[in-house]
Structure 1
Amino acid sequence: MAVRDMAINGGNAGTAVDVSSPLPGKSKTILLIDDDESVRHSLSMLFEIHGWRTIAAPSGAEAIIVLQNEAIDLIVTDIFIPDFDGLEMLREVSKQWPELPTIVLSGKPNWGDIDWLRMARHLGAHAVLEKTSAFDDVLREVEAAVLLGADAI
């Protein structure tokens, strides 16, 4: 099943930040930024099943508040989010939290004349994935990014 398959029912941008509980013995926290509630929910469940705590934010502004108040080990963000796009998020993270790895997801990697995922990679994203990527690909990149972040500390 692909990440995109989880969003078939659609989702609405929410205003609440959802926090999942970590599994015993796991302490890594992923900040998941996506305005699609079904994607936030599905990816949060996927990450929780694999032992990571997830904080989900529906917008860039809420994500920045989380980053200022929580210890985050990894960001997984959609490229198109309310308030500012994922590229702006990458720029802000690289200025404020340069050691924090980021994975960028997109359901529209080549929207218009711009290759958004290529731009994200150029701006320092640890990994870029289309939302149609298989769960195994997403998990592999998350694991690698979490390990990368641990090595930077």
Structure 2
Amino acid sequence: MDEPSILLIDDEEAFVTTLQERLEMRGFSAAVAFDGQSGLDMIATNPPDVVVLDLRMPGISGVEVLRRIRKQWPGLPVIMLSGHGSDLDFETCIHLGAAMYHKKPLDISTLIDSVHAVTQGKQQPLR
């Protein structure tokens, strides 16, 4: 079985580039966008199977990107990541339709398990 395609949207370039490399080493197709608008543009031209989205970014926040994804691509699973998120952020993201919510740093095996869960419809809003 082919692994799901993933779009990583995060402004922390070193973090997200390393994450992309680690996913690709495990057979995933992983694209990267360093800001919310670029991520939305990439979804519009080549929709992934899963989006992994940072909560706090300059410009368009992760919450706003999530809102726009839900409006334009309601079935696209989104896994939220945050290094600084609060319980309110968690509740907001889950209310807006995030499939899962994890805090950074995130173990690669946890992310892979989450990607598989959301693409198979077995997710629970983890944090």
Do the two structures share a fold, i.e. TM-score over 0.5?
yes
Instruction: Report the TM-score, using the length of structure 1 for normalisation.
Output: 0.73
The answer to whether the aligner puts 1:123 opposite 2:99 as a matched pair is: no
Cα distance in 2 for residues equivalent to 1:78 and 1:86: 6
Deviations 1:7-46 (A, max 9, x none): xxxxxxxxxxxxxxxxxx7363111000011111121022
- Distance in 2, Cα, partners of 1:133 & 1:36: 14
The one-character-per-residue Cα deviations of 1:85-119 (angstroms, maximum 9, x if unpaired) are 11111110111000100000000012xxx621221
List gaps (5 residues or longer) in structure 1: 1-24, 149-153
Residues 54-97 of structure 1: per-residue CA shift (max 9 Å, x gap) = 11000011011101110311100100123211111111011100
Query: What amino acid does structure 1 have at the position aligned with 2:53?
Result: T
How large is the RMSD of aligned CA atoms in angstroms? 1.8
Moved over 2 A (4+): 25-28, 132-136
Q: Which amino acid aligns with 1:139?
A: I
- C-alpha distance in structure 1 between counterparts of 2:71 and 2:58, whole Å: 20
Q: Residues of 2 paired with 1:138 and 1:70: CA distance?
A: 22
Spell out the pairing of 1:1-153 with structure 2 (5 A cutoff). 26=2, 28-110=4-86, 115-148=88-121
2:125 counterpart residue number = none
Check conservation: 1:58, 1:82, Cα contact below 8 A: no
Separation in 2, partners of 1:94, 1:123: 8
Q: Which runs of 5+ in 2 are unaligned?
A: 122-127
**TM-score, scaled relative to structure 2:** 0.87
